[in-house]
Amino acid sequence: MNYIIETKDLVKEYDDFRAVDKINLKIPRNSVFGVLGPNGAGKSTLISMLSTIIPPTSGKAIVNGFDVKKEANKVRESIGIVFQTRALDTILTGREHLEMHAALYGVPKDIRQERIDDVIELIALGDKIDEYVKNYSGGMMRKLEIGRGLIHHPKLLFLDEPTLGLDIRTRENIWKYIEDLKHNIDITILLTTHYLEEADNLCDEIAIINQGHIIKTGSPKDLKSELKSDIITVNTPEAYKFIDILKGYDFIQDSFRKNNEIKLSVEKGENLIPEVIKIAEKNDIKIQSVEVTHPSLEDVFIKYTGRKIS
C-alpha cells in the first residue's frame, strides 16, 4: 500500500516530559485519518513534528516520501496546515489572504488567479470573500483557513482541531465541507480531534492517542464492532422482578437496573428483542418500551483508556 505518512518510534521530549512516546503510524494516501484523544494527549505535538514545525527528539517520520528531519523544505512544499488557533489577519479580506498565500507558496503567476478562483468556489463564501475578515463568523474563518491551506495543491492537509470552539451547527457545516474535499480533491487529510462524533463521521481510520501513546488504530466501524456488545434497554414497572428472571438466560452477558430501567449487554441486539419480549409475556411482565443501541466510539475509548474523553 502507498502511504503518505510513515513514522517509526517517533518521540518528542521536553526536559523530563515525554509528550509523544514511540509512535508508529502508516497513513494511506487519499484518506481521512483522525488522531482522537483528550486535550494534552499529544495530538498537536504529533502534527507539529509531521509538519516540521518542531523537530522530533528521536525516531523517524516520512511525509509524502520526504524525511521531516533531512528534507523539511520538501515536506513543507507538499503540505497545507490549519492550526488549532486562528492565524488570520483581520484587516485583510478573504481574497487578499488567498492572494498572499498563493504568492508565499510560489504558485506561478500565470495560474495564480485560476487557483484562487477555484478555492473561492470551493469554500463558498460568495460575496463575503471581498469583506474584511474581522466581519467573518467563526465558521467562515475556518473555511477560509482551510481554503488558504489548499491554494498550492498540497498532497496532505493537516487540520488541528478544525472545529474547536464552534457551535454545533457551524461544526456540522465544516464537517460537510471536509466531506466534500474528501470526495472532490486528490488529497489526504489528517485531523486531530477530541470530538467523538467528528471522528466517527469523517474518518476512514482513526488512531486513539492517550498520554503520548497510540493505543489502538482502525476504522470507526471496526473498532466499534470489536466490542461485540449491544445494549438493550427495557422500561418496565416490574424491573426489579424482570432483571432476576433475565439473569437466568445465557444470551445476556451483563445486566444493570436503575429504577424502572434495565440495561442488558448482548450480542446482535436487534435479533434478541423479540426474545426479551417473549420472556416478559411468559412471566406476565408489562413492558413499557424497549430499544437497542450499538457500541459508540466513546465505549471504545473507555475500553482502551479506562476513562471518558474530555
What is the distance between the alpha carbons of residues 279 and 249, in angstroms, rounded to a whole number?
Answer: 10
- In CATH, the number for domain 229-294 is 3.30.70.260
Q: Where are the domains of the chain?
A: 3-220, 229-294
- In CATH, the number for domain 3-220 is 3.40.50.300
| Contact assessment for residue 25 and residue 207, using Cβ atoms and an 8 Å cutoff | yes
What is the distance between the alpha carbons of residues 131 and 91, in angstroms, rounded to a whole number?
Answer: 9
First and final C-alpha spacing in the chain = 34
Buried b (16+ CB within 10 A) or exposed e, 83-111: beeeebeeeebbbebbbebbeebebeeee
Question: Is this model's pTM higher than 0.85 or not?
Answer: no
Judge whether 3-220 and 229-294 match in fold. Answer: no
- Positive or negative torsion for Cα 180, 182, 225, 211: negative
Question: What confidence score (pLDDT) does residue 270 get?
Answer: 87
Give pLDDT tens digits along the chain (310 positions): 689 999 999 999 999 999 999 999 999 999 999 999 988 899 999 999 999 999 999 999 999 999 999 999 999 999 999 988 888 999 999 999 999 999 998 899 999 999 999 999 888 888 999 999 999 999 899 999 999 999 999 999 999 998 888 888 888 888 988 888 888 888 999 999 989 999 999 999 999 999 999 999 999 999 998 887 889 999 999 999 999 999 889 999 888 888 999 989 898 888 999 999 999 999 999 999 999 988 889 888 888 887 878 7
Question: What confidence score (pLDDT) does residue 275 get?
Answer: 94
| Contact assessment for residue 214 and residue 33, using Cβ atoms and an 8 Å cutoff | no
Question: What confidence score (pLDDT) does residue 181 get?
Answer: 84
Question: What confidence score (pLDDT) does residue 1 get?
Answer: 60
